[in-house]
Amino acid sequence: MRFISPAISFFFLRRAEAEESGLPVWAPVSCVSLSLSTASSFNNRSIRSDSSVIGPPTPPNRIRSYSEVRCCPTNCATQNSLLLVQSCHQSATKMSHWADSCLSFCVGACKPLLSSCPMNYSSARARVDLVVFGEFFIDLIFYKLPRAPKLGEEVKTQYFAEFPGGGLATTALVAAGLGTSTAVVSRIGKEAQSNQSWQKLVRSGIFVGACEFSAKFLTAMTVFAAYDGDRMMITYDTINRSLRKLLARPAVRGQLHKAKHLHLACAVSPPQAWTPAIRRLRSQGLTISLDVGWNPEVLQSPRLPALLRECDFVFPNEIEARTMTGEKSVERAARKLAQWVRVPVVKLGHDGCIVVQDEKALRMKSIHVHVVDATGAGDAFNGGFLHGYLSGWSLEDSLRAANICGAIATTRPGGPSGVVTRGKLLELMKRI
């Protein structure tokens, strides 16, 4: 393998230069594809994929395609001396399930080829503004149902979609889609690395180098039945237990060290176990936001206020806010939350949101849209708000952005499919 040493040295030099500059973005780097016919564990398959280019367009005829090329991480030689990536256009980042001695380099079992193409310099310590920590789901969505199903009854529909789900995916995709440099930290099953839902995050330029890939558990999954503007759900999420332990991983600590804001999109159960870690991160200069979701044992915990005091923002919906505070009025609930967290933002669906800051309540209306599926709307709201906050916008403009992102997310099945562009967002913000 001595013949590839110069190429590997060149790659690490360029990667180091990028990381030192603090700009882990798309940049031209020589990417070498080598024949490894002597490595039987490769099964004569390349992990090079030229069918889908991520980032800036590659000049035509610069990269040759081969009919036998196949992109599937489960066929990679994960215990060999090289770390393999799925494509020259994806992150050359060491994953936790690969051997520590691996080197980061793009190789394949096709003919020797040297070409320049965009490569993502993503690493576990990429400098980003936003880190979204939490639960990743594969969402299976059945929508436009003729009626709500009853026990023992089968209801058929012609409309089905699969999307990355959970607060982590939708929040990250919306923020990244608007231009915020974003990383995610989660635990997924190894089987999902080639899944289209996970690849949607990778193709969106979201940094995933600090994630943990489990061989023990399957990726979390939720099945949705969407009907008449609302939905019912069934979830499998064993893999999401003890996510808090990820905060202690060196890769995660390195990622957070270079970030500006941490958004927690998970149950934080029990709250008292999370409080010391969040307090420590905030003392390091991070601002913190939290969306617990509908987890009654957390929302009703007497230990939750202590955790909220370590947060800058909290994003409950109306029902969650009332559950957290025991108040029947949404404004009284928001005011009580303001005693615990710097800026409570209570989401009110099509009625917009209410915020209490400096003892003043502010209501911000939303835009009117035709609702197809409400899945992920609250998480899209979070992504829009955090983009505004990290862009230095006023509270009012951040709330306008949040309401618009939340509303647009309901116009298509699955929250991530309704991501608004920055240009469209700025246009719609002028209307409210």
* Residue 40 shares a structural domain with residue 114: yes
pLDDT at 28: 32
Is the model's pLDDT at 86 over the cut of 60?
no
Task: Calculate the alpha carbon distances from 106 to 18, 61, 87, 175, 363 in Å.
Answer: 17, 19, 7, 29, 51
Which structural domain, as residue segments, surrounds residue 265? Answer: 130-135+170-217+242-429
- Sorted by sequence, the CB contacts under 8 Å of residue 220 that are 6+ apart come out as 135, 136, 137, 138, 166, 188, 235, 236, 237, 238, 239, 240
**What is the C-alpha separation between 335 and 339, in angstroms, rounded?**
7
Closest CA to 347 of 393, 391, 410, 286: 410
* Residue 115 shares a structural domain with residue 188: no
Domain final residue, candidates 93, 120, 147: 120
* Residue 353 shares a structural domain with residue 205: yes
What share of the chain has pLDDT > 70, as a percent? Answer: 70
Is the model's pLDDT at 167 over the cut of 60?
yes
Q: Encode 130-159: b = buried (16+ Cβ within 10 Å), e = exposed.
A: bbbbbbbbbbbbbbebeeeeeeeeeeeeee
The average pLDDT across 132-156 equals 91
Q: What is the pLDDT of residues 17-55, one digit of tens each?
A: 334 333 333 333 333 333 332 223 333 333 333 333 333
Is the model's pLDDT at 15 over the cut of 60?
no
pLDDT at 166: 86
Is the model's pLDDT at 212 over the cut of 60?
yes
Using DSSP's 3-state secondary structure scheme, residue 309 falls into coil
**What is the C-alpha separation between 163 and 142, in angstroms, rounded?**
11
Q: Is 399 part of a structural domain of the chain?
A: yes
* Residue 78 shares a structural domain with residue 203: no
Across 6-15, 55-64, 420-429, the highest mean pLDDT is recorded for 420-429
pLDDT at 227: 83
Centre a 10 Å sphere on the Cβ of residue 289 and count the other Cβ atoms it contains: 25
* Residue 174 shares a structural domain with residue 302: yes
**What is the C-alpha separation between 229 and 163, in angstroms, rounded?**
18
Domain final residue, candidates 85, 120, 155: 120
pLDDT at 32: 32
Is the model's pLDDT at 93 over the cut of 70?
no
Q: Please report which confidence band the pLDDT of residue 126 belongs to, taking 50, 70 and 90 as the band edges.
A: low
Contact (CB, 8 A) for 119 and 148: no
Choice between 89 and 228, residue whose per-residue pLDDT is larger? 228
Choice between 25 and 192, residue whose per-residue pLDDT is larger? 192
* DSSP secondary structure letter of residue 80: S
pLDDT at 134: 96
* Residue 250 shares a structural domain with residue 103: no
Q: Please report which confidence band the pLDDT of residue 232 belongs to, taking 50, 70 and 90 as the band edges.
A: confident
The average pLDDT across 3-9 equals 35
Report the domain count for the chain. Answer: 2
Q: Is 320 part of a structural domain of the chain?
A: yes
For residue 354, the domain's CATH number is: 3.40.1190.20
Q: What is the pLDDT of residues 417-431, one digit of tens each?
A: 668 888 889 988 988
Q: Is 412 part of a structural domain of the chain?
A: yes
Q: Is 421 part of a structural domain of the chain?
A: yes
Closest CA to 55 of 73, 28, 33: 28
**What is the C-alpha separation between 192 and 212, in angstroms, rounded?**
12
**Full DSSP string of 97-139:** TS-TT-EE----SSS-EEEEEEEE---TT---SEEEEE--EEE
Q: Is 14 part of a structural domain of the chain?
A: no
Q: Give the distance, in angstroms, between the CA of residue 328 and the centroid of all CA atoms in the same chain.
A: 33
Q: Is 224 part of a structural domain of the chain?
A: no
pLDDT at 13: 32
* Residue 402 shares a structural domain with residue 280: yes
* Residue 210 shares a structural domain with residue 75: no
* Residue 261 shares a structural domain with residue 334: yes
* DSSP secondary structure letter of residue 317: B
Tell me how many degrees the CA angle 342-347-348 measures, rounded to the nearest 5.
Answer: 140
Bridge partners of 335, per DSSP, are: none
Choice between 59 and 281, residue whose per-residue pLDDT is larger? 281
Q: What is the pLDDT of residues 308-362, one digit of tens each?
A: 999 999 999 999 999 999 999 999 999 999 999 999 999 999 999 999 998 899 9
The average pLDDT across 183-203 equals 93
Q: Encode 388-412: b = buried (16+ Cβ within 10 Å), e = exposed.
A: bbbeebebebbbbbbbbbbbbbbeb
Domain final residue, candidates 120, 149, 181: 120
Q: What is the β-pairing status of strands 212-214 and 187-189?
A: parallel
- Sorted by sequence, the CB contacts under 8 Å of residue 256 that are 6+ apart come out as 131, 247, 262, 281, 284, 286
Q: What is the pLDDT of residues 363-404, one digit of tens each?
A: 999 998 988 878 789 999 999 999 999 999 999 999 999 999
**What is the C-alpha separation between 16 and 10, in angstroms, rounded?**
10
Contact (CB, 8 A) for 105 and 4: yes
Is the model's pLDDT at 68 over the cut of 70?
no
* Residue 190 shares a structural domain with residue 52: no
**What is the C-alpha separation between 307 and 383, in angstroms, rounded?**
21
**Full DSSP string of 217-249:** SPPEEEEEEEETTEEEEEEE-GGGTTGGGGGGS
pLDDT at 21: 36
**What is the C-alpha separation between 84 and 311, in angstroms, rounded?**
39
The per-type count for the chain, helices as H runs and strands as E runs, is 12, 18
Contact (CB, 8 A) for 417 and 161: yes
Residue 236, amino acid: Y
* Residue 396 shares a structural domain with residue 287: yes
Q: Is 356 part of a structural domain of the chain?
A: yes
pLDDT at 226: 82
Is the model's pLDDT at 241 over the cut of 80?
yes
What phi and psi, each to the nearest 5 degrees, are found at residue 266?
-160, 175
Q: Is 403 part of a structural domain of the chain?
A: yes
* Residue 204 shares a structural domain with residue 342: yes
Q: pLDDT averaged over the chain? A: 76
Using DSSP's 3-state secondary structure scheme, residue 336 falls into helix
